[in-house]
Amino acid sequence: MSLGPVMLDVVGKELTADDIRRLQHPLVGGVILFARNFESCAQLKALTASIHAVRQPPLLIAVDHEGGRVQRFREGFTKIPPMRAFGHIWDKHPRKAKELAVEAGYILAAELRAHGVDFSFTPVLDMDYGDSLVIGDRAFHRDPQAINELAFSLMQGLKKGGMAAVGKHFPGHGFVVADSHVSIPVDEREFDQIAQNDMQPFVRMIDEGLHAVMPAHVIYPKVDEKPAGFSPRWLQKVLRERLGFNGVIFSDDLSMEGATVAGDVTARTLAALNAGCDMVLLCNRPDLADELLENLQWNISAQSIARLARMHGAAHPADMVSLRESAGYVEAVKRMALVGQQEADLFA
């Protein structure tokens, strides 16, 4: 059975019979984990092993684990600072900031891989305009050049730790104030303004081999009346054709308020897949997951299957004990603990 085009969540800290039933459905291809799925490192590793054992090839396992306030697993994991911290250091010490971003990516990836997670939805490539309610300190910087350099460094660290990178939220979520989790943001700018600013980090990262992209649940009415994640113009004409991107396109969560413009859950999913998404996310609504799996009819393309297969994590330490015996990992963790202090010193 090949991977399907739908990524779901699971209810708790171990798989239930309903979880297993859903995950065995041919339309499913992945699982996204949340803080509620974590109790301890041993429990997490057992959970991911049970998810991978459900079927072959194994389902992809993902998590939003960026650092700062978006870090789902805490106890037993290194505290990763928000990406803005690296941007602040970059202002005074660009080389040091890039070195630290590599180490942050490596720690993040190596620890998740040691627990059986295939990839994290990171890095955020949005520009920090200072107004967004949902992006905030998740963004590296306002300057596209700083974002380019720091995001590329983080991606190198992720690769070293055995993990692909996912750039989000294409073509840029940082300009609008509204939070697409609870409303439908609208960005009134012209295409050229977006292309010359917000899209630049995506252009650079795609040129450098970015594996995956997540579009924004934002409407850019000067370009298309549909949110980017449901727009063939954004995903096929701009992202695929103009930027030459050939990696995975993941939808953002289809249970978010910003996705409701596309109709019921099946209509939203079809809109995202027809627009060009390879895989859609549906989180925190098992009732909608059942509805979707019952009603959706979709034959995933061989191209999408091949793209998704590349998101499986690379070889990794068998456990955290092995990782902590690595001098490189130990040194990286020590330096990460100093990032907050280094940032504070810059503003002292």
Known binding positions for substrate: 64, 72, 138, 168-169
SS (H, E, C) 105-172: HHHHHHHHHHCCCCEECCCECCCCCCCCCCCHHHCCCCCHHHHHHHHHHHHHHHHHCCCCCEEEEECC
Given 93, 181, 290, 312, which residue is catalytic? 181
336 contacts 100 by C-beta, under 8 angstroms? yes
Whether omega for the bond prior to residue 169 falls within 30 degrees of 0, making it cis, is yes
DSSP SS3 for 251: strand
Q: Which residue is associated with the tokens 């998101």? A: 311
Contacts of 123 (CB under 8 A, 6+ apart): 66, 83, 140, 151, 154, 155, 165, 166, 167, 168
Amino acid at the residue 163: M
Known binding positions: 64, 72, 138, 168-169
Question: How many whole angstroms separate alpha carbon 105 and alpha carbon 252?
Answer: 22
Distances (CA, A) of 18 to 46, 117, 139: 18, 21, 37
Residue 84: count other Cβ atoms within 10 Å of its Cβ: 20
Q: What are phi and psi of 225, to 5 degrees?
A: -80, -10
> Looking at 19, 252, 253, 278, which residue is catalytic?
252
* Secondary structure letter of residue 25 according to DSSP: S
316 in active site: no
- The reply to whether omega before 81 is within 30° of 0 (cis) is no
Is 65 in the active site? no
**Token pair for 278:** 């390879």
Structure-token pair, residue 205: 């990262």
Amino acid at 227: P
Length of the chain: 348
281 with 63: CB under 8 angstroms? no
**Tokens 């081999």 label which residue?**
209
By annotation, the residues acting in catalysis are 181, 252
